[in-house]
Structure 1
Amino acid sequence: MNSSDDDYDGEREFDDVDEDSVEAKVWQLLLLINPGDEETALLQFNDYREAMADADADGVEPIEVIGRVIDWRSGFIVDANDLRSLVQAVNELSSRWNLSIDWNGDPDDDEFFDDMDAAELFSIAYDRLAEFGYTLWAWETDGDTYAGWMTLTRDGEPLRELATALGINLRLGSEVS
């Protein structure tokens, strides 16, 4: 089967989804965190559906599965103490749209992180991305991690509504503490 057949199958299967279902909301969320890249959103949606088919739907929150299927492609989950990985993850997301972040220093320099914390890095990235019409978001995780994704700034309100509907505690990257 070629890749166009794979895409068609995913679209056909999605046509059967109830517009008010959790799956439909996940699909809308994936479209927002993959602006202009419906192909990646569709691949992630198919991965989400496969993962949910193998999981106890009542025992898993959608964000747990979403986090896994988007990690290092359209979002990130990094250890709270691993500031280097946070910078790398945000840089990776930004590079999807040919953006680079001025971190007010050189993250390749070991001393860069001496006086930094995750909240400050989120804030710097949030401010820099806003200059280009993008917003860095963070969502609350159960563990000692930071998680987030980017959207177009204009999609902020629909994203907040979807996050609320999906039970995701979402905040702006500038509000991370």
Structure 2
Amino acid sequence: MSAPDNESDYEDDGYDFADDDREFDDEALVWQLLLLINPGDEDTALQQFGRFREAREEGGGGDVADQVQEIIDWTSGYLVDWKDTETFIDAIAQLAARWNLRVDWGVEDPGDEDFLAGTDVPELMARAYDRLREHGYTLWNRDTGGDAYAGWIALRRDDENMQAVCAALGIDIRPGSDAF
């Protein structure tokens, strides 16, 4: 499988997507998004892009954000129920481990029932956002339009590009410090 044929792969040539006013098709934009949420792991981005193309070819039209979520879930992104604090902690731990990071939740055992009952996903998201920023990453969340939280982690230096790519795709995102 080969990467899409476009010149917007800013990782290779210092390209700044955020300052470009050209229009890109959804495939080129999804490729950029996958590169952003898989920093340093083009193989994973390429595999996910292949799944995206396959879904599109099989008539999988619809909301791009949902399509992307399906191909990245638990590898490069998270999707959790609004009250499922335990799964949120597990998902962020798995995503952060890709870069050998561990999020400090402020307690010795983040799986403790009392801790989980005394917090919520937005509070945990804000903690994870702060801890990841210390290591040069940004936790993002996107508007799911429902009772769930979803998003991904990307390099902090790519914040402007992330916002530009998501805006062009019609995906409403915010930093994890400001949950939907």
Q: Which residue of 2 aligns with 1:90?
A: 92
Match of 1:81 among 67, 79, 83: 83
Alpha-carbon RMSD across the aligned residues, in angstroms, is 1.7
Q: Which residue of 1 aligns with 2:113?
A: 110
**Distance in 1 (alpha carbons) for counterparts of 2:147 and 2:117:** 20
Task: In structure 2, give the amino acid aligned to 1:15.
Answer: D
Task: Output the TM-score relative to the length of structure 2.
Answer: 0.87
How far did residue 17 of structure 1 move?
9.7
Task: In structure 2, give the amino acid aligned to 1:20.
Answer: F
Q: Which residue of 1 aligns with 2:71?
A: 69
State the secondary structure of the residue aligned to 1:44: helix
Q: Is the 8 A contact 1:139 1:146 kept in 2?
A: yes
How far did residue 10 of structure 1 move?
2.9
1:10 lines up with 2:2 in the alignment:
yes
**Distance in 2 (alpha carbons) for counterparts of 1:56 and 1:153:** 32
| Structure 2 unaligned blocks of 5 or more | 9-22
Match of 1:34 among 35, 38, 60: 38
Q: Which residue of 1 aligns with 2:59?
A: 55
Task: In structure 2, give the amino acid aligned to 1:170.
Answer: I
How far did residue 81 of structure 1 move?
1.4
More helix by share: 1
**Distance in 2 (alpha carbons) for counterparts of 1:110 and 1:78:** 18
Q: Percent identity?
A: 47
Task: In structure 1, give the amino acid aligned to 2:2.
Answer: G
Q: Is the 8 A contact 1:130 1:153 kept in 2?
A: yes
**Distance in 2 (alpha carbons) for counterparts of 1:54 and 1:16:** 23
Q: How does 1:163-174 map to 2 (within 5 A)?
A: 163-174=166-177
| Structure 1 unaligned blocks of 5 or more | 1-8
Q: Write the deviation string for residues 47-75 of structure 1: whole angstroms up to 9, x where unpaired.
A: 00111112253xx0111110000000000
State the secondary structure of the residue aligned to 1:76: strand
Task: Output the TM-score relative to the length of structure 1.
Answer: 0.88
Q: Is the 8 A contact 2:132 2:139 kept in 1?
A: yes
